Copies of this chain bind each other. A is one copy, B any other.
Amino acid sequence: MKDIESLGLTKQRRAVLRAVRESDRHLNANEVFDDARQHLAGISFATVYNSLNYLKKEGLIGEIRFGTDAKLYDRKLEHHDHAICNECGKLVDLELPMPEGLLEAAAERSNFKAETIELTLRGLCPDCS
C-alpha cells in the first residue's frame, strides 16, 4: 500500500474515494456512482468501476462480496468479520477476537499458505428476528 499523498489521485478517483470513506455503510458500485456524481457531475460509470478497482489495488478501500450479487465497498481496511441476515441480506461489520491457533489449524488442514481468515455469521438481523 502506497502513501495516499504520493498517488496524486485524480479528481475522479478522489470523488470515488470520498464516497466510500464518507459512508458508514457498505456501498455497491451503483451507490458509489450516485454519490460521486453529487460532487463531480460528469463522472462516468466506467470510471467509477475503474477507480474502485484502482483504489482497491492500492489498498485504500476494501471490497467484500457475499450475500448479494454485487460487490460492496468498504472504507475499513483492517481485518474484520461480517454478519449477514438470511432474510433481508443486510451486511454488518463485526469485530471478533481471532481465536488462538485457528489460522494455523486452517492452514495446516488445507495446505494453503494462510494470509487471512474471515468469519461470517449467518442468521437473522434484529429487524428480521
Query: Chain A residues in contact with chain B, CB under 8 A?
Result: 65-66, 81, 83, 85-86, 92, 94-97, 99, 102-103, 105-107, 109-126, 129
Contacts and interface: CB of A to CB of B under 8 A. Distances in A.
A114 B106 contact: no
A68 to B, nearest CB: 9
Number of copies: 2
Given A66-B65, A66-B66, A113 B105 contact: no
Contacts of A123: 107, 112-116
A111 B126 contact: yes
A106 B129 contact: no
B105 A114 contact: no
Contacts of A109: 94-96
